[in-house]
Amino acid sequence: MQAWQVLEYGMAPVRVEIAPPAPAKGEIVVRVEAVGLNFADMLAIQGKYQVRQTPPFIPGMEFSGIVEALGSDVAGPPVGARVLGTCPAGALADRISLPAGRLTPFPAEMSFAEAAGFPIAYGTSHLALTHTARLQPGETLFVTGAAGGVGLTAVEVGNRLGARVIASARGADRLAVARQAGADVLIDSEAPGLKEALRAEGGVDVVYDVVGGPAFDAALRACKPDGRLLAIGFASGEVPQIPANLLLVKNLTVSGFWYGGFEAHAPQLVADSMAQLLRWRAEGLIRPHVSQVLPFEAFPEGLALLRDRKATGKVVIRVGQDP
C-alpha cells in the first residue's frame, strides 16, 4: 500500500510502498479515505511533539474511512461502516489497523473530508471549554488563532454554549471566517494593544489560547477575577512564562489541555463528547469548515499551508476516491 513515512526527525516525509496491515486481536483495519492535518503533525515530523514516534513512522493523527476487516474479539463497527478516528500516528496511508475504541461511526450525509478533520479540533474545543474551563452562558470567551483548525471550532463551540466570543486572527479575511463561525467581537492579531482592547470589552472570563507568546500574556492581564486560561498550543513557537502573583491576586486558573491525554485516561468522556458533537452537527448547530482538500501526493503542500498560516479551518488530504 501507499504511505507517507518520516525516516528521520526534521527530514521531509517520503512516499513509500509498504505491506498493508492485518488486524491484531481487538483491532479493526480501516481503508482510509481522508486525513485531517494538524499543527501537531509538523511537530511530530520534527520530533518536537509531546509524544515522540520512533522513525520510521507514518504521520497523521485523524482520519475517516471504511471498515475493511475485523480482528478477533471485536464486535464492531461492522465491515463497510463509515468511521472517523484518531491515532498517535499512522493515518497517512491507504490502510490503518487500530483498536476499535478509537473509531466512531458517522452518518452518510457527512463527507469523508469533513469527517476526517472533525475529531481532534472539535473534540479539543468541546472538552476544553465544557469539562476543563466550565464555560457558562453569558461569559466572555477570548480565542486566539481563531481562524485556524482548532481555534475556529472554539469560536463555534463557545457560541453554541452561549458565550460572548472575542476572536483574534490575522487580517480581515481570516477575521471574516471567525465572524461566520459566531464571533461577536473581532481583533486583528497584528494590531497593537491587545490587552487594552480586551479590557475595553469588559475583560475576559475564559481564554482559549493556541498561539502562546505575547497574546497569552495580554489575555492573562485582561482576565476578570476567577478567570480561566486554557493553554492549548504554542503555534507562535513561544511558550508563555506565567507570573504566579497575577494568578494569586485575581484567583486565576491556568490549565493545560491535550486531547490525546484525555483519549488515554478518560476514553468514555471523549466518547460522550464526540457523540454530543455529532448530534450538534446533525442538527446543523455546528458547521465544519474545510478550506482545502488536497490529493494524497500533495501532503507536503498541505503541511506548508499550515506552516505558513495560509489555511482557515481544516486542511484535508484525500487518500481514497470516495467523496
CATH number, domain containing residue 217: 3.40.50.720
Note whether residue 199 is domain-resident: yes
Pair 45, 59: CB distance under 8 Å = yes
Per-residue pLDDT tens digits for 36-91: 999 999 999 999 998 999 999 999 999 999 999 999 999 879 999 999 999 999 99
Task: With CA atoms as reference, report the closest residue to 233 among 121, 98, 140.
Answer: 121
DSSP string, 253-265: EEEE--HHHHHHH
For strands 62-70 and 82-86, give the pairing: antiparallel
Cell numbers linked to 115 = 469527517
Q: What is the CA radius of gyration of the chain?
A: 20
The reply to whether 67 and 40 lie within a common domain is: yes
The reply to whether 114 and 126 lie within a common domain is: no
The domain in which residue 138 lies consists of 121-259
Of 213, 239, 259, at which residue does a domain stop? 259
Pair 73, 40: CB distance under 8 Å = no
Q: What per-residue confidence (pLDDT) applies to 220?
A: 97
The reply to whether 167 and 76 lie within a common domain is: no
Rounded Cα distance between 195 and 187, Å, is 11
| Length in residues, the chain | 323
Per-residue pLDDT tens digits for 11-24: 999 999 999 999 99
Per 3-state DSSP, what percentage of the chain is helix, strand, and coil (rounded to 5)? 35, 25, 40
Rounded Cα distance between 49 and 256, Å, is 15
Low-confidence ranges of the chain (pLDDT < 70): 321-323
The reply to whether 153 and 234 lie within a common domain is: yes
Rounded Cα distance between 115 and 106, Å, is 8
Secondary structure of residue 121 in the 3-state scheme: helix
Q: What is the CATH number of the domain that holds 92?
A: 3.90.180.10
**Amino acid identity, position 285:** L
The reply to whether 54 and 91 lie within a common domain is: yes
Q: What per-residue confidence (pLDDT) applies to 76?
A: 79
Q: What per-residue confidence (pLDDT) applies to 322?
A: 59
Q: What per-residue confidence (pLDDT) applies to 47?
A: 95
The reply to whether 234 and 139 lie within a common domain is: yes
Q: What per-residue confidence (pLDDT) applies to 143?
A: 98
Cis before 20? omega within 30: no
Secondary structure of residue 91 in the 3-state scheme: coil
Rounded Cα distance between 143 and 151, Å, is 6
Pair 206, 141: CB distance under 8 Å = yes
The reply to whether 125 and 234 lie within a common domain is: yes
For strands 185-188 and 95-99, give the pairing: unpaired
Note whether residue 66 is domain-resident: yes
